[in-house]
Structure 1
Amino acid sequence: MEDILKDLAQAKPPTPEVDRDRMERDLARIVTLPRERPARKQLVRRFAPLAVVAAVIILAVVVLPDPSQPVQPAATSQWWRVLRQQSSLMVVGEPSKLYVVRFDSKTDQWQAGKREIAVVQKDGEVKPFSRQDDTAWEASGRPEVAPQFGGSRSVRIGPMAPAVQESYVSGLSLTSTYWERLESFDDLPADPAGMKAKLQPEEKGAYGLADLVMAVMIADVRDDQRRGAFELLKSLDGARYLERVPLPNEGVGVGVAFPAPPQFQFSDVETQIVINPATGKPVLKRNVITTSQHGLPAQTSIAEEQYLLLEGTNVEPILPLGVAVNGGVESPIIER
């Protein structure tokens, strides 16, 4: 065994000499060689700066406002819209079996320049006014048509057919008992005295003037003109100021009342107009009887308009489907 180990030791090659200068040169060459990188990492690092620049450009163009772009003013309203809920009373039936019916409907009116569109008799219906009137109608056989009391026509009881009316007029119309047109409301004075002089042809009388002034209050006028119109109503002969009037929905309004001419079947009538004091816009216009008539107590409203909307809008007129424009009005009051 010892002889084998001696033979192996003698056969071991000599230890090579260490060349330190060569080792340092090889190490320096290895360090300077380029390092291999995955393809994805190379692309990300190469194009990351470009992606940052692109994101900044998009943010500047899409998100940030252009300082040189002028601010666009809000569009002016195209239409002036008046939506009113209307009701009125009428005495009908045979002389020995009279009862009262109530007409209910909406009128949706749109005006733009010389163009006027109105939807009349919208959601309309004629029906007995009170439980007592309903009993009298039942006792009469529930007729679909009943004669007017004191008139030459009849009334159809039941739903009303809506109608659409369109017209082109010169100037601005005031819907009133006394038809009147103004070329513009711009030159209508806002002070009561000036407004009275502008609207007061002598032949119209006090009530005719009041009727025109109330029409001004629901038209497309300025707030100061609307408030001036209300002050003018308060100054008319026979006018009575209403300090606290419950509004149809909630709250309290103020109003003016003044004597009105007889209204077909009713006498001793007073017209009242009520406004919202916060806005100056009319909320309610009504005719009430001041004495008991046809079984109705004093202060009963025999004709009424509740203003649901008085506003400028860019929304086009909303017309009922299947109703021809200017196709005629199927009135619930017909020839007997």
Structure 2
Amino acid sequence: MEDLLKDLTQAKPPAPEVDPERMERDLARIIAMPQPAKIRTSARRFGPVLVAAAVIALAVVLLPRPAPPVQPAAPPQRWHVLTQKWELMIVGEPTNPYTVMLSATEERWAGTDNQVDVTQKNGKVEPFSSDDEARWETAGKPTEAPQLGGHSSVRIGPMQPAVRKIDGPEPNPFAGLPTDPVELKKTLQTVTGDNGSQDSLHYRTAMLAMQMMTANISDDRRRAAFEALKTVDGVRLLDRTTLRDGRSGTGVAIPAPPTFQFTGFETQLVVNPETGLPMARRNVLTAPQHGLPVTTPIFEEVYLLLERTTIDPILPHGVVVNAAPESPIIER
């Protein structure tokens, strides 16, 4: 082994001569040579990573976007009207007449799919005053009493509620009428027609405007109806008017045509001045009749609710829908 190493040492070529000037020239040339770009080194180092990231980004873009969550359909709106109605009627024999009051709560739920009416809810017929109750007792407390001057009888006591349901959209003939009071008044007059006297025409026009104000219409159309109503011939403006329940408002009044039991009365519409919504429609005596003094309401329809709602109709328990109602008026 030693001989081998000795031979290798002897075979080593002699060391080259050192040339300092050449070494300086070579070093200067090496330094002046352009260095490889760093970006190439970075590309070689991170190229696979960048390609993978690009593929992932492209896949994300091309993937189908998830469908937006399905929003539940909004519940259908209904026009909800809740009223308390009552009217007076003269019954009994001509020698012993007395006044009874027919009262009931009525409710309407008008929507796009159907309309539901609840009538005679909590309804009853009873003597109007303590004096009328004494006259009824004198007559023997009958459960049926003849109408004075009429051909029917009145059932005295509680009334059975009734429910009527009509399938289909809400019948609303007022929704598309003009919002200009002048044009609206012309339209209402055209609808009422020209049959009868001028007073009858004015009254029917006023009643149509009053009915319009309780319908499911826009606020501007409701304001137009009230402005048109105030300009109907024969209409007078009411100052602050107090209702039987203590509420008060302003409104209009127009002379009404006679009925078979009452003459000399006017129809009034009382409106909430803050909201513009009707509070009550009523017939008020302008002359004493049947022992009733002037300003006595003989009919009143109080609007407890006039609103848009999504609540389903609430029906009285045990009432058959669309069954024939039990009328308080009985034909003799």
* TM-score past 0.5 threshold: yes
SS of residue in 1 equivalent to 2:207: helix
Counterpart amino acid of residue 102 in structure 2: F
Equivalent residue number for residue 226 of structure 2: 230
User: How much does 1:330 deviate?
Assistant: 0.3
Of 242, 248, 252, the match for 1:246: 242
Percent of residue pairs identical: 50
Contact 1:263/1:269 (<8 A) preserved: no
> Which structure 1 residue ranges, 5 or more long, are not aligned?
1-68, 174-181
Equivalent residue number for residue 131 of structure 2: 132
> C-alpha distance in 1, partners of 2:96/2:170?
48
Equivalent residue number for residue 190 of structure 1: 179
Equivalent residue number for residue 15 of structure 1: none
Gap change, CA 1:166 and 1:73, over 3 Å in 2: closer
Gap change, CA 1:114 and 1:151, over 3 Å in 2: farther
> C-alpha distance in 2, partners of 1:198/1:235?
14
Length-normalised TM-score, structure 2: 0.73
SS of residue in 2 equivalent to 1:203: coil
Length-normalised TM-score, structure 1: 0.72
SS of residue in 2 equivalent to 1:277: coil
Q: After TM superposition, where is structure 1 displaced by more than 4 Å over at least 4 residues in a row? A: 72-77, 247-251
Equivalent residue number for residue 148 of structure 1: 147
> C-alpha distance in 1, partners of 2:297/2:115?
29
User: How much does 1:170 deviate?
Assistant: 7.0
SS of residue in 1 equivalent to 2:228: helix
Equivalent residue number for residue 78 of structure 1: 77
Highest CA radius of gyration, 1 or 2? 2
Is the counterpart of residue 274 in structure 1 residue 248 in structure 2? no
Counterpart amino acid of residue 263 in structure 1: T
Gap change, CA 1:76 and 1:281, over 3 Å in 2: farther
Is the counterpart of residue 216 in structure 1 residue 212 in structure 2? yes
Could you list the per-position Cα deviations for residues 277-298 of structure 1 after superposition, in whole angstroms to 9, with x for gaps in the alignment? 1100000100011101011111
User: How much does 1:251 deviate?
Assistant: 5.0
Equivalent residue number for residue 48 of structure 1: none
Of 304, 311, 332, the match for 1:308: 304
> C-alpha distance in 2, partners of 1:248/1:90?
18
Could you list the per-position Cα deviations for residues 233-285 of structure 1 after superposition, in whole angstroms to 9, with x for gaps in the alignment? 11111111012112454553111000111122001120000000110000010
Gap change, CA 1:315 and 1:169, over 3 Å in 2: closer
SS of residue in 1 equivalent to 2:223: helix
> Which structure 2 residue ranges, 5 or more long, are not aligned?
1-67, 196-200
SS of residue in 2 equivalent to 1:85: strand
Of 314, 321, 326, the match for 1:325: 321
> C-alpha distance in 1, partners of 2:231/2:212?
16
Is the counterpart of residue 164 in structure 1 residue 157 in structure 2? no
